[in-house]
Structure 1
Amino acid sequence: MTLTLHHVQYGRSFRVLWLTEEIGVDRFGGLDVVEYRIGTAGMREGALPRVSPAMRIPAIEHDGLEMSESGAIVQHLVETHAPQLGRAPGDAERPAYLQWIHYAETQASLIEQLNLMMVFLRPPAKPPATVVKLTVARLRQTLRGMEERLAGDWLLPSGFSAADIMMGFNLFAAPYYVKMDEFPRLLAYKARMEARDAHRRAVGREGPQRFYDRDFYPVPEA
């Protein structure tokens, strides 16, 4: 049975899209992507409200299974279809693996706040400069923490894992709010992500991004 992914272009659901390409979409009987535009009536229609309690993406349907929350979906698909991308209980890297999986959401929640303030609240609404500045500073700190701890090619010493896939959305979106020049390791890490064949296939499905209308959003003047 085909896996159905309820998806917003280059949103958190990109994590699931990329993961299915790493696993191989044929393992799921194919992939059907149902795309939404944030803020449109389409998100209140169709299957999304039934599949996702919060009526947000991502959500999946597959062989009678319905799930939402990107981290939960990623962990489930890894455990059932690609254990080599996870770290099983008892593995020495299991604590670090879980921490990075959840760190990705700490970081993504800050990106979400900035998206709301800087992209959705278009003129005449004006986001509060102090709040934007604080949120950008917090996002920068999460990037600095990754920069300081990224010692090898991937987050875990043993190699590529689903923890790296969870960061794909984050490192796509963060440069719209934080200048990345101060993070050379993360820039190289992002380039390694983008060089993976599965990542390229996922980006090919996405096409040019349609969400951000400029390359960088500076903190507004007070």
Structure 2
Amino acid sequence: MIRLHHCHQTRSMRSLWLLYELGVDFELLVYPFDKTLREEPYRSLNPTGRVPTLEIDGFVIHESGAIAEYLCERFPDGGLGRDPGDDDRAAWLDWIHFAETISQHTAALTQQHVALYEDHMRSPIVMQLEAKRLAKTLGKVEAGLVGDYLLSSFSAADIGVGQAVYMAGHFVELARFPRLSDWFDRLQARPAYRKALPGGPGLYAQDLYPPWPLDT
């Protein structure tokens, strides 16, 4: 039994996308991004009140990077992992976990732009700093792309980083990074990616939340 606990436009999208790419049977439970995550019965599965949570093989896994590693090892025929000894193994692991580096800045910007409802609660300085830090992470992806994908062929690394870039695109203009933009266009054309997108409204009310100027 595989069961994914998911909220639209959060890190759990990368786990959902990966499951769709692997083509395995699973149950999907979708939650609103609100206090429901901090209440029973979900709280017993994940006391932090966050997503994703994956139930599989009698285990409960909370971290998206660990979920990616486990699923790729559990379903090796999907070809989305890289085995120990593979030339791409170290780079695959690095990209899988670099997705979280991108996401930490996106999360900070989401809090400032979306979760804090009143302008007086927000910090223009934090917005500027986090947007610049986020852009630096995208610069690493830009520099790392030497072919069509992050590695020699499409893998879970593209899924993890691709989902993080999807979120980052709400705060930084991706057109500033031409190789990244071409790569992301290829990812967006994948049926599994489109299937993992929210079917209705998500967290964001607009496509781009530009950082506030520091002189406001």
Determine if the TM-score, normalized by the shorter chain, exceeds 0.5. Answer: yes
- The code of the aligned residue for 2:38 comes to R
- Verify the 8 A CA contact 2:12 2:64 in the aligned structure 1: yes
Please name the residue that 1:108 is paired with. 103
- Verify the 8 A CA contact 2:102 2:165 in the aligned structure 1: no
Please name the residue that 1:85 is paired with. 80
User: Any unmatched runs of 5+ in structure 2?
Assistant: none
Give me the identity figure in percent: 40
User: Any unmatched runs of 5+ in structure 1?
Assistant: none
Of 25, 37, 41 in structure 1, the residue corresponding to residue 35 of structure 2 is 41
- Classify 1:162/1:219 alpha carbon distance in 2 versus 1 (closer, same or farther; 3 Å): same
1:152-185 CA deviation, whole Å, 9 max, x = no partner? 11101x2011111102321211121111221111
1:21-58 CA deviation, whole Å, 9 max, x = no partner? 111133xxxx22222222x2311223322222422100
Structure 2 SS opposite 1:176: coil
Which deviates more, 134-143 or 43-52?
Answer: 43-52
Structure 2 SS opposite 1:33: strand
Question: Are 1:122 and 2:100 matched, yes or no?
Answer: no
CA deviation after TM superposition for structure 1 residue 124, in Å? 4.6
- Verify the 8 A CA contact 1:4 1:32 in the aligned structure 2: yes
1:62 and 1:161 map into 2 onto residues whose CA distance is: 21
Please name the residue that 1:162 is paired with. 156
Please name the residue that 1:220 is paired with. 212
Please name the residue that 1:135 is paired with. 130
1:15 and 1:181 map into 2 onto residues whose CA distance is: 22
- The code of the aligned residue for 2:199 comes to G
1:179 and 1:195 map into 2 onto residues whose CA distance is: 19
- Verify the 8 A CA contact 1:129 1:220 in the aligned structure 2: yes
1:54-94 CA deviation, whole Å, 9 max, x = no partner? 22100011342211111111110111113621111111211
